Amino acid sequence: MKISCIQMDMRLGEPDWNFARAEELVRAAARTEHPDVAVLPETWNTGFFPKDLEPCADRDGERTKAVFSALARELSINIVCGSVANKRTEGFFNTAYVFDRTGEAVAEYDKTHLFTPSGEHESFQCGWHTCRFTLDGKSCGLIICYDIRFPELTRTMALEENPYNETFYDLWSVSITGQTSKLVTVGLFNDYHMGGPHPWSTAEYYTFRTDTGELVTLSEILNASPDEIEAFLLSELTLQNDAAGGEIDMNTFRAYGADDYSFALRDGKVYVEFDRYEGVSYAFGYIDSIEMTMGLKPEWQ
């Protein structure tokens, strides 16, 4: 497999120029080097990284998918789109997309280990999962920049080569998922495998006061009573359950009090988060985060 690694100068916060330049360089590589795979650099659409991502980030990868899916199909090469600053409902992510020779998007990966010395964690949300895929019959995996410092990530992907590999792995990571001047949320994430076909993952969130380090509860910081919080969450979960055809075990959550829910701060907002199999079967997957629209109490803003 022949790979062309494209090193390009980016203009900070100028996605139009960067998209045009990236396409130009991929075309040049395809014409002169005839690679099987062209690889773009990290955050090539914005540079690493503007202080204000809102006006220049891609929206759920829509522009990246449109441009490079068509380009991969036209040139009949595989394209690993480096990574792009990417805006989704949950916030900004450092996301890589992969397109095969037919233009199909075969993989998507959010950077797991954000480079905290440069403050990347203050602008981006961290990813949750490994990413493996196949190009031209070759098994591949994705990591981005600082991820390389954490060998457990690549080891995990290597073990996933055989989905029934009986080797045990236990991968832990911790990161700040969001903060305000008065509150900070720390996420504790665990991916592990005891053998058999299905790995397991958990996520726990803890929100602390920045002045004293004390743990706070949902009812303590939200601008609503515990009864209002419980009613709101059950209403939102009921909507998700109806859309999922009754896959959510509502009795699990009817037994919850307001402060039994896990929650996290992101972009100054509060989201209730659910563990991967909390209240649902393995086949269903997971429950979507719920934004607590009543917001923070004035004293916590």
Residues that are catalytic: 42, 111, 145
The answer to whether the CB of 84 falls within 8 A of the CB of 46 is yes
Q: Facing residues of 265 across strands?
A: 270
CA pair distance 62, 178, nearest whole angstrom: 25
Longest dimension (CA), the chain: 66
Q: How far is CA 301 from the centre of its chain?
A: 26
CB atoms within 10 A of CB 172: 11
CA pair distance 50, 12, nearest whole angstrom: 6
The number of helix segments (H) and strand segments (E) in the chain equals: 7, 15
CB atoms within 10 A of CB 185: 22
Residue corresponding to tokens 């934004």: 291
Look at the alpha carbons of 270, 274, 279, 281 in this order and tell me if their dihedral is positive or negative: positive
Beta strands in 210-251 (DSSP E): none
Residue corresponding to tokens 């090469």: 77
Residue corresponding to tokens 């098994």: 139
Mention every residue, 6+ apart, whose C-beta is less than 8 A from residue 262: 203, 204, 205, 272, 273, 274, 275
Coil vs helix vs strand at 154: helix
* Tokens matching residue 195: 């053998």
